[in-house]
């Protein structure tokens, strides 16, 4: 008999996953983190390793997993365009085979399972802000398709397991999330700009910089994921989770320069193919079904993120490596 829930977090050694593990442990759960360490690392969870209720296991979710748990958070998948395009076939396998394996596990155990889906299922959206009933505008054969279509297929699998096998699903459509423990080299915009500013390097704005994103601080996101898992089984989603404040990349670059007091200049680089022009969640469903809305303003979240990268860059070796890679 287990009094505390046993929770599996796939991708638990990644950016969001490590914060989620921390939060679940603080709430008294037994947490099993599985990860193949492609973009995540043991370092992200090493401060949790001395807790008896925490376990980490190297495992690739494209292979079946046999464990006993009550809840599953399926976060395993590289999230940065640079990383998910590095081995696109593996990215699709991770989303699709990973979903099949995790759903099979949830079916056998009658466990609740939450999928970390993404705003990328909307592609380059023609509806603003994006509501959950919008079907999206996705290129099925472009460089982002391995991620976008992989995640869309995973959503299909989740809803088919729910209709066909009554698996207790929750599908979260996560919008751009940022904060401490983003990989300094993972190519996403917040980590790129902050690291560039701290190293006094040029800030690389892709295209004209007028494209928008909405940035959610990681603590707010973890809060939403935990609330969604705790919601009644009727709350299957898909449900948008993100911060509805929209910024252009030029605005973000200026904020980062101001908050770091950097002397970096803004330079423009070519815009990647299929880069969405505009992205902003409608979070009305999250508000009504979960009583959730983000509370961390961008300035506050950026300050905490900058403080994290400042600490990280105090390691002179890493500083040198990053300076060479930039």
Q: Which residues bind ligand NAD (CB under 6 A)?
A: 10-11, 13-17, 35-40, 60-62, 75-79, 94, 98, 116, 118, 174, 176-177
Task: Classify residue 34 by burial, with Cβ atoms within 10 Å: 0-12, 13-18, 19+.
Answer: buried
Return the biggest CA–CA distance within the chain. Answer: 60
Smaller CB distance to ligand NAD: residue 147 or 161? 147
Residue span binding ligand UDP (CB under 6 A) among the ranges 56-64, 124-132, 201-209, 231-239: 201-209
152 binds ligand UDP (CB under 6 A): no
**What are the Cα distances from residue 319, in Å, to 239, 254, 313, 316?**
39, 23, 5, 5
N-terminal to C-terminal alpha carbon distance within the chain: 52
Tell me how far, at minimum, the Cβ of 133 lies from ligand NAD, in Å. Answer: 19
CA 274 vs. chain centroid, Å, equals 20
Q: Report the residue from 10, 30, 117, 211 that binds ligand UDP according to the rule CB under 6 A.
A: 211
> Count of residues binding ligand UDP (CB under 6 A)?
15
CA distance 289 to 4: 25
Tell me how far, at minimum, the Cβ of 16 lies from ligand NAD, in Å. Answer: 4
Cα 16–30–46 angle (5° rounding)?
Answer: 50
213 binds ligand UDP (CB under 6 A): yes
Cite the active site residues. Answer: 147
Please report which helix (H) or strand (E) contains residue 229, including its range: helix 218-230
14 binds ligand UDP (CB under 6 A): no
Answer whether 10's CB lies under 8 Å from 74's CB.
yes
Answer whether 56's CB lies under 8 Å from 45's CB.
yes
**What are the Cα distances from residue 146, in Å, to 82, 151, 164, 277?**
12, 8, 26, 19
Smaller CB distance to ligand NAD: residue 102 or 262? 102
CA distance 305 to 326: 19
Q: Which does 71 bind (CB under 5 to 8 A by kind): ligand UDP, ligand NAD, none?
A: none
Q: Which does 40 bind (CB under 5 to 8 A by kind): ligand NAD, ligand UDP, none?
A: ligand NAD
Q: x/- binding map, residues 34-73, to ligand UDP, per CB under 6 A?
A: ----------------------------------------
Q: Report the residue from 154, 205, 256, 290 that binds ligand UDP according to the rule CB under 6 A.
A: 205
Q: Which of residues 242-271 bind ligand UDP (CB under 6 A)?
A: 249, 271
Contact footprint for ligand UDP (CB under 6 A)? 80-81, 176, 188-189, 192, 204-206, 211, 213, 249, 271-272, 275
């Amino acid at each position: 008999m287990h009094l505390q829930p046993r929770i599996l977090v796939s991708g638990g050694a990644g950016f969001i996953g490590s914060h989620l593990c921390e939060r679940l442990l603080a709430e008294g759960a037994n947490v099993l983190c599985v990860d193949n360490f492609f973009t995540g690392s043991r370092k992200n969870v090493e401060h949790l390793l001395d807790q008896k209720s925490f376990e980490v296991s190297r495992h690739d979710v494209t292979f079946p997993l046999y464990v006993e748990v009550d809840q599953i958070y399926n976060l395993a998948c590289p999230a940065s365009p640079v990383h998910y395009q590095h081995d696109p076939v593996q990215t699709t396998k991770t989303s699709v085979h990973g979903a099949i394996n995790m759903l099979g596990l949830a079916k056998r155990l009658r466990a609740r399972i939450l999928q970390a889906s993404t705003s990328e299922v909307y592609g380059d959206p023609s509806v603003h802000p994006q509501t959950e009933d919008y079907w999206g505008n996705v290129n099925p054969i472009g460089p982002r398709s391995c991620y976008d279509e992989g995640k869309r297929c995973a959503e299909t699998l989740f809803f088919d397991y729910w209709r066909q096998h009554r698996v207790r699903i929750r599908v979260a459509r996560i919008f751009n999330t940022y904060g401490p423990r983003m990989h300094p080299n993972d190519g996403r915009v917040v980590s790129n700009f902050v690291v560039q500013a701290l190293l006094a390097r040029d800030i690389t704005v892709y295209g004209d910089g007028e494209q928008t994103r909405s940035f959610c601080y990681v603590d707010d996101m973890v809060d939403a994921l935990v609330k969604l898992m705790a919601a009644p089984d009727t709350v299957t989603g898909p449900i948008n989770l993100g911060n509805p404040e929209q910024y252009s990349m030029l605005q973000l670059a200026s904020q980062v320069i101001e908050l770091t007091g950097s002397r970096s200049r803004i330079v423009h680089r070519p815009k990647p193919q299929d880069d969405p022009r505009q992205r902003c969640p409608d979070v009305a469903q999250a508000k009504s079904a979960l009583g959730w809305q983000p509370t961390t303003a961008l300035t506050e979240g950026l300050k905490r993120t900058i403080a994290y990268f400042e600490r990280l860059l105090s390691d002179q070796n890493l500083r040198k490596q990053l300076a060479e890679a930039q």
